[in-house]
Structure 1
Amino acid sequence: MRWVTYDAGDGARTGLLDGDSVRGLAAGVSLVALLGDDGEALAEAGGTARRDPAEVRALDDVRLLAPIPRPPSVRDGLCFLEHLRGCYRALGRPAELPDVWSQTPAFYFANPAAVVGPYDDVPIAPGSRLFDLELEIGAVVGRGGRDLHPDTAEDHVVGFTFFNDWTARDHQMRDMAQGIGMGKGKDSAITLGPALVTVDELEAHRGERGWTFEVSATVNDRRLAKGSLADMDWSFGELLAFLSRGTDLRPGDVIGSGTVPGGCLLEHVDVPDPTAWTGWLQPGDVVALASDALGETRQVVRPAPPVTPLRTGF
């Protein structure tokens, strides 16, 4: 099933994507409300959408929102270590990673209020001159759990969607210098969509080491990167098991895979000083993520809103 959240002019609704149309459920039914321990509510809703939808709309006549517009929480992992090596190389640092990166998967808590839809315009983060995209896949938790086992944790994933972790690299540099984790560098926008594609829809893309579907990113229709979940160094099962240690994962939580290698502009910086590089996103640029398995997002970058200084001289 391919679930979407859409607006046809009378507020957000949940529907099932069916070719060039959306088969909508009754008003007031959210996708998160259909997730839970047994999956029966989602399956029943899918049957209702197919047999007796509350409405049927042409896809061109609706605005697709993020499938989970306000997740209970958003965590972003770093499961492709080659992405980190690529960033290190671009910054002139040794690409050999310390042992800590092979001990546990890294992650940070992201901002659920920053979630935007798959075709929404994205303003550059206020005050940023080094604005970037990140090609990622988001796993959506369907069945909650705590202290999950890495061999079975992925059974708690109901499906996948694109996850574009827009990043202000100059703000991120300041965040890292302050040393308490990600802050304003990762706070402006997170794209989810276009649909939540359930795992049963993706069985053809399951291999011995996990999911194998390919994803790509373009800027102004020029390919930036292409990759596959098969290249993950940490699996989603391992990531969810680590995230759930001593705490609860809840239905609707969104877990980012981390960036597919090459899937951000930072990895393509080719000058010693990243602040002097001219390839960062600019107003009017069009960023698209695409996959035969997940669909496509397509967004226009817009100018940053003005910044009010916190103090004179800053």
Structure 2
Amino acid sequence: MKFITFEKSDGKISAGWLVDEEHAVDMCEASSGRLPNNLVDFLNKSEEYLKQTEGISVGLDQKGVYPLSELRLKAPLPNPKSFRDFYAFEQHVKTARERRGLSVAPEWYQMPVFYFSNHLAITGPGDKIPKPKNSLWLDYELEIACIIGKEGRDISADQADEYIFGYCILNDWSARDLQREEMKVGLGPAKGKDFSTTIGPWIVTKNELKALKQGNGFDLTMKARVNGILLSEGNLKDIYYSFGEMISRASQGVTLYPGEIMGSGTVGTGCILELGPEVHRWLEPGDLVELEIDCLGVLKNTIID
């Protein structure tokens, strides 16, 4: 299933799932209130509520079913409880560090590392992304995110799949010049990532990807285009650390809750920093950025002043 959050013509925000490529279900309306009207509450009882969705017969003329043309898709999880972003693709780590004259730290091969980003600055498909006023080096980052759907603590990597609800495309926008300066202090990115993180256009439940499992990831081609020009292309199967390993690391001595997001980090070639400004300039107002991942859709955003 593909879960979405959307705005209706009357301005009401609701959540539900896609029936097909042209229609969506308002899950609260279609279930006569048995299901909640937002995905955070849905995730708090995802196992119970997923079973209830199976019992809802949906016809295109049924109450609670809307043409997608009448809806505006929002970030599928507009208010996640937290957002951790990992650094899990070896090619990206190597290339990005080589461009700064650095080798890969040995510790990177010992554990999946992450930082916390601003979970209150989540944007969605079609949203305009303001370029930070004090930045000249705006970049996209082509990533995939997993959504936690079950509470757990000290989760083993082998058991972690039980705690994943689904996956979506993630664009970890980066103000590279701000990031470069602040990371000299040694605390990691902050204002360089603070302004926006985009997810969407929907969350695909994990069962839809099961047959594509390969290596530590899935056989999913990942692409990024700027103004229609293909700049980045990679595959999730090349990820060094699995989401199971990431969840295991994140949950050591910490309770994870439904509605938390974990990003994969950038796929190899998946940002301008890695490609180099000689391949493409930094992003400017008016640029259209499209991230595409097999089975997960296309996430489009335009940069503005």
> What TM-score does the superposition give when structure 2 sets the normalisation length?
0.92
Of 33, 39, 50, the match for 1:42: 50
Does the CA contact (< 8 Å) of 1:218 and 1:225 recur in 2? Answer: yes
Q: Does 2:160 correspond to 1:159?
A: no
Tell me: CA distance 1:158–1:78, structure 2 relative to 1, closer, same or farther (3 Å): same
Unaligned runs of 5+ in 1: 272-276, 304-314
C-alpha displacement of 1:72:
0.4
Distance in 2 separating the partners of 1:128 and 1:213? 33
Query: Cα deviation per residue 1:148-187 (whole Å; 9 max; x = unaligned)?
Result: 1011112211100011000000110122022222210011
Distance in 1 separating the partners of 2:41 and 2:49? 9
Does the CA contact (< 8 Å) of 1:227 and 1:260 recur in 2? Answer: yes
C-alpha displacement of 1:278:
7.0
Tell me: CA distance 1:33–1:75, structure 2 relative to 1, closer, same or farther (3 Å): same
Instruction: Report the AA paired with residue 163 of structure 2.
Output: H
Distance in 2 separating the partners of 1:219 and 1:169? 17
Does the CA contact (< 8 Å) of 1:114 and 1:189 recur in 2? Answer: yes
Instruction: Report the AA paired with residue 236 of structure 2.
Output: L
Of 125, 148, 160, the match for 1:118: 125
Q: Does 2:34 correspond to 1:33?
A: no
**Which residue is equivalent to 2:8?**
8
Instruction: Report the AA paired with residue 39 of structure 2.
Output: L
Of 69, 76, 95, the match for 1:67: 76
Distance in 1 separating the partners of 2:204 and 2:274? 29
SS of structure 1 residue aligned to 2:58: helix
**Which residue is equivalent to 1:236?**
243
Of 269, 287, 290, the match for 1:288: 290
Distance in 1 separating the partners of 2:215 and 2:171? 27
C-alpha displacement of 1:224:
1.3
Of 93, 97, 109, the match for 1:88: 97
C-alpha displacement of 1:89:
2.6
C-alpha displacement of 1:37:
6.1
Does the CA contact (< 8 Å) of 2:220 and 2:295 recur in 1? Answer: yes
Does the CA contact (< 8 Å) of 1:5 and 1:31 recur in 2? Answer: yes
Distance in 1 separating the partners of 2:298 and 2:244? 25
C-alpha displacement of 1:280:
0.1
Distance in 2 separating the partners of 1:208 and 1:257? 15
Aligned-residue CA RMSD in angstroms? 1.9
C-alpha displacement of 1:64:
0.5
Does the CA contact (< 8 Å) of 1:144 and 1:248 recur in 2? Answer: yes
Q: Does 2:223 correspond to 1:221?
A: no
Percent identical residues: 36
Distance in 1 separating the partners of 2:120 and 2:57? 28
Deviates more, 1:252-261 or 1:50-59: 50-59
Tell me: CA distance 1:208–1:265, structure 2 relative to 1, closer, same or farther (3 Å): closer
Distance in 2 separating the partners of 1:208 and 1:77? 18
Unaligned runs of 5+ in 2: 30-35
Deviates more, 1:160-169 or 1:170-179: 170-179
State the number of aligned residues: 296
SS of structure 1 residue aligned to 2:192: helix
Distance in 1 separating the partners of 2:55 and 2:226? 38
